Structure 1
Amino acid sequence: MPRILAIDYGKIRTGIAVTDELQIIASGLTTVATSDLISFLKEYTSKERVELFLVGEPKQMDNSPSESEVLIIAFLKKLSKVFPKMPVTRVDERFTSKMAFQTMIDSGLKKKQRKNKALVDEISATLILQSYLYSQ
């Protein structure tokens, strides 16, 4: 069975998470520079079977799109040109950064380790993927 890949898109860094091949477990994969994201996805999908991209959808509390949605829309257009047959599903990502930070605290990471924004992005992508898996 192919994997599902989740993307927590950011202006500078993007967190990536994937499922196992049975699509049961969500695991953080990495954080990549957003400028390298498309090439990372090309390389990853050339080695691993992926059937779906999940892309976080940042929203305000009133359900309106957040400011970063403009950047994500531009990324989605580019993504559909590079991967025209790959389905993309959007997943509400409200509170994932706060939840990721709390996860780091709960897991006992030291203050210096919690300042690692790349790790927060990777955990956020994992939370996006987990929420999708739970909803299925």
Structure 2
Amino acid sequence: MARILAIDYGMKRTGLAVTDVLQIIASGLTTVNTKELLLFLKDYTSKETVELFIVGEPKQMDNTASESEVLIAPFLQKLEKQFPHIPIHRVDERFTSKMAFQTMIDSGLKKNQRKNKALVDEISATLILQSYLYSK
């Protein structure tokens, strides 16, 4: 089997998470500068087999697309063009940032550590991936 890679796309930073090869466990991978995301993914997929990209889908409470979806659409086109052999699946990402922050509190991280936005993005990507795995 191959890995599933989740992407919590952001304007500045993008959180990434990945499954193990058996697709059982979701783990935070890293957070990358969004400008370097496609280059990072190209390098990662040259070393690891990825069979699916999970991309967070920001939605409003009424289930309509969030304003940030406008930023994600061009990225999705580039992702599909760069990796035509890897399908893309969208997963609702409502509340993942708040859940990630709560996870940090529950883990006992100190206040200064909780200010690390890159860690919040990585945890958010992990939550998106876990959501997909649970629904599967």
Q: For the superposition of Structure 1 and Structure 2, which TM-score range results when normalised by the shorter chain?
A: over 0.9
Where does residue 132 of structure 1 map in the other structure?
132
Structure 1 Cα separation of the partners of residues 34 and 76 of structure 2: 13
Q: Mind listing any 5+ residue stretches in structure 1 that lack a counterpart?
A: none
Other structure's SS at 2:43 match: helix
Report how far residue 64 of structure 1 moved: 0.8
Other structure's SS at 2:10 match: coil
Report how far residue 85 of structure 1 moved: 1.5
RMSD: 0.4
Structure 1 Cα separation of the partners of residues 57 and 101 of structure 2: 19
Report how far residue 84 of structure 1 moved: 1.1
Report how far residue 21 of structure 1 moved: 0.6
Other structure's SS at 1:104 match: helix
Where does residue 13 of structure 2 map in the other structure?
13
Structure 2 Cα separation of the partners of residues 32 and 24 of structure 1: 24
What is the 5 A alignment of 1:1-136?
Answer: 1-136=1-136
Structure 1 Cα separation of the partners of residues 45 and 71 of structure 2: 23
Other structure's SS at 2:27 match: strand
Cα shift readout 1:1-30 (whole Å, capped 9, x = no counterpart): 100000000000000000001000000000
Query: Partner letter of residue 95 of structure 1?
Result: F
Structure 2 Cα separation of the partners of residues 37 and 109 of structure 1: 27
Structure 1 Cα separation of the partners of residues 46 and 99 of structure 2: 32
What is the aligned length? 136
Comparing 80-89 and 118-127, the one that deviates more? 80-89
In the TM superposition, structure 1's runs of 4+ consecutive aligned residues that sit over 6 Å from their partners are: none
Other structure's SS at 2:21 match: coil
Report how far residue 125 of structure 1 moved: 0.1
- TM-score, length of structure 1 as denominator length: 0.99
